[in-house]
Amino acid sequence: MNIITISREFGSGGRELGKRIADILGYSYYDREIITAIAAKHDFDEHYVEKVLESGFSFSFPITYGRTFSYTTDATGQQALELLTTQCSILKEIAERENCVIVGRSANIILEDYKPLNLFVYADMESKIRRCRERAPEEEKLTDAQMKKKIKQIDAGRAKHQRFLSDLKWGEKEGYHLCINTSGMEIKKIAPAVADFAKKCFENEVK
């Protein structure tokens, strides 16, 4: 199967880019659907699952996908590991079933054995704040300073999530086949080029 994973800074447009790439290539697209599936398996609220996966780890050493997820010191940590195990299982099921684009969830690390094409999407802070404002609900009234803090906190959570799975740092170029700077760019205009890059990589088995 052809698998594309997209890691992204919050507000960089990675989610939109992933959806547009999937549409162009005719691949299935997975984003929040993964959280929904995890929540359904455990009968938890989706927002709770997302929060636990990003902040519920309570130990100070990395775990790798090849190990059993049994290292913990408290109930919160144990629950986080159970959710992470389910996440890994769901991602593997998807990878074995169909060509797909998967956004987030450290899929680039968890699906390493499936040889995915790994993309990282980033942007300058001004562009990220602007995109966040364009997509924010009307009732959200954050100042630029508050929005910047929120972006940094979310990105720190994503980096933390990956640290528990790998020694490879989130966002470092060595972990990706292509890093895409979307600063000042319209996602719909760059999506065809990225999709073409992915198509050529799969045709030439460059993984």
Residue 61: predicted pLDDT: 42
Whether 58 has a pLDDT exceeding 60, the answer reads: no
pLDDT tens digits along 142-183:
889 999 999 999 999 888 888 888 888 999 999 999 999 999
pLDDT tens digits along 82-128:
888 898 999 999 999 999 999 998 999 999 999 999 999 999 999 99
Stretch 24-28: mean pLDDT: 97
pLDDT tens digits along 181-196:
999 999 999 999 999 9
Question: Global pTM?
Answer: 0.84
Share of the chain above pLDDT 70, in %: 88
Stretch 60-68: mean pLDDT: 42
- DSSP labels, 125-163: HHHHHHHHHHHS-TT----HHHHHHHHHHHHHHHHHHHH
Distance CA 194, CA 207 (A): 15
Say if CB 168 and CB 175 are below 8 A apart: yes
Residue 206: predicted pLDDT: 55
Residue 100: predicted pLDDT: 97
Residue 57: predicted pLDDT: 54
Per-residue pLDDT band for 55 (boundaries 50, 70, 90) equals low
Residue 63: predicted pLDDT: 42
Domains in the chain, start-ordered, CATH in brackets?
A: 3-201 (3.40.50.300)
Residue 206, CA atoms < 13 Å, CB-side half-sphere: 11
